[in-house]
Amino acid sequence: MKSVGIVAEYNPFHNGHLYHVQAAKRLSQSDVTIAVMSGNFLQRGEPALVSKWSRTKMALQSGVDIVIELPYAFAVQKAEVFAHGAIFLLNAMKCSGICFGSESGDIQQFIHTLSFMNDKKTEYDKHIRMFIKQGISYPSALALAYQELGPDSRSVDLSTPNNILGYHYVYAAAEINPRLNFYTIQRKSAGYHDESFSDATIASATSIRKSLNAHGNLSEIQAYIPHETLANLHQYSSDFAQFHIWEDYWPYLQYRLLSMNKEELREIYEVEEGLENRLIKAAHSADNFHSFMKAIKTKRYTWTRLQRLCVHILTNTRKTTIHALDKSPQYARLLGMSSIGREYLNQIKKELPIPLVSKLSAYENNMLMLDIRAADVYAHGLAEPYRRKLLAFEYRQPPIFNNA
């Protein structure tokens, strides 16, 4: 059986994701679609709207055959680390190809850019260091350094979010397995960061979450999501009485900041260059998470980078912990599968280079402990008895099986 890989967050699964799943299988002529999906905290440093288990159901009911969790150590990270973890897992799962969405829509642009950047690496790194010394944020420094190299018309535009991730997927594959095939589909109608609806049926996950948080009415977003997603969102709201947003975690974050001294805070992953002073000062005066973020935001640090830092504070993820971990995922945690997915796993399981984890009690690992801690913190965004109910899923929920 032939499989194609997808890197996803599904926050939540919408019509654009459905098109992506269908196109990935069609373009690659694959029998099986495997999604590596972030867990309960995401790459932009946000809690997922609903749990990884609910998002796994959405994916399986909409055509994905296997869902593997991207470990916390890679999910809540900058693009390079996020991409490496995801591509490593898809390669370990024996995918013959990977399909991603991009603003470009032309895979040859990514391949050309990879070659171009390899030739210009020394010059590129020099420009990055120069721009960072000027106080420019890391993502902006990368974009400016790229422009300094003078990319030609065959190169991809690395100023847009999906193109950036796509480039890092291709870059990671060149190191992990150059034989991986790549396919890309062009994002249309809705951009990654779009906050409003501009199309009849396609909207970004950002605009869907914003509408849901603002109005709390699922009918406002039903045109943009498959009916399976709508049903799962209704079920989650019924089961847990709310969706997850950053403000639910603000009291815990504020407490952590006010109870830590500067030395302790400096030990947290991504707390650098005196940020601990700014964080503690803002924690004393801010009334909510949004006002806290506005107080700590600077030109040098993006909103996304600071949100990731806040997640690491919440989960007490220290520099020493991350630096001691292996640079690639050490296991593949199975969240769910279809009947075709189960058949595929039975076919490849003896060839897997890393353990396939379907039961927490059967496997111990420091990287996995971070996932468990993140799940515990995520559950604390809910009130009791919902908190305990959600946390129980982490230990008792077997991989979800969709027999449809």
Could you state, in order of their start, the residue ranges of all structural domains in the chain?
A: 3-103+185-244+327-402, 246-324
Is 18 annotated among the ligand-binding residues?
yes
pLDDT at 78: 94
Q: Is 9 annotated as a binding residue?
A: yes
Cross-strand partners of 35? 6, 67
Which amino acid is located at 361 in the chain?
S
Q: pTM score, two decimals?
A: 0.94
Q: Which residues contact 365 (CB under 8 A, 6 or more apart)?
A: 330, 331
Residues 6 or more apart whose Cβ sits within 8 Å of residue 221: 203, 208, 211, 212
Cα–Cα distance for residue pair 118/128, rounded to 1 Å: 15
74: annotated binding-site residue?
A: no
Nearest to 250 by CA among 291, 279, 295, 288: 288
The confidence score (pLDDT) of residue 72 equals 98
| Residue 63 is assigned to a ligand binding site | no
Question: Is the Cβ–Cβ distance between 90 and 98 less than 8 Å?
Answer: yes
End-to-end CA distance of the chain: 19
Domain 3-103+185-244+327-402 has CATH 3.40.50.620: yes
The pLDDT value given to residue 153: 86
Is 105 known to sit in a ligand binding site? no
pLDDT score of 271: 95
The segments of the chain whose pLDDT lies below 50 read 190-192
Phi-psi category of residue 66: left, alpha or beta, with phi > 0 → left and psi -120 to 50 → alpha: beta
**Residue 193 marked ligand-binding:** no
Q: Has 215 been labeled as part of a binding site? A: no
Asked if residue 12 belongs to a known ligand binding site, the reply is: yes
- Whether residue 366 is annotated as binding a ligand: the answer is no
Q: Identify the sign of the CA torsion 85, 118, 306, 303.
A: negative
Q: What is the pLDDT of residue 298?
A: 87
- Is 263 part of any known ligand binding site? no
The annotation status of 292 as a binding-site residue, yes or no, is no
The pLDDT value recorded for residue 199 is 65
Is 97 annotated as ligand-binding? Answer: no
* Residue 6: alpha-carbon gap to chain centroid: 12
Residue 14 counted as an annotated binding residue: yes
Distance from C-alpha of 165 to C-alpha of 157, rounded to nearest angstrom: 11
Contact in structure between 124 and 117 (CB atoms under 8 Å): yes
Position 278 scores a pLDDT of: 94
Residue 42 to residue 46: CA distance in whole angstroms: 5
92 known ligand binder: no
pLDDT at 197: 56
Known binding residue 19? Answer is yes
Q: Is 217 annotated as a binding residue?
A: no
Show Cβ contacts of residue 133 under 8 Å, excluding neighbours closer than 6 positions. Answer: none
Query: Does 10 show up as a binding residue in the annotation?
Result: yes
Strands 356-357 and 97-102: unpaired
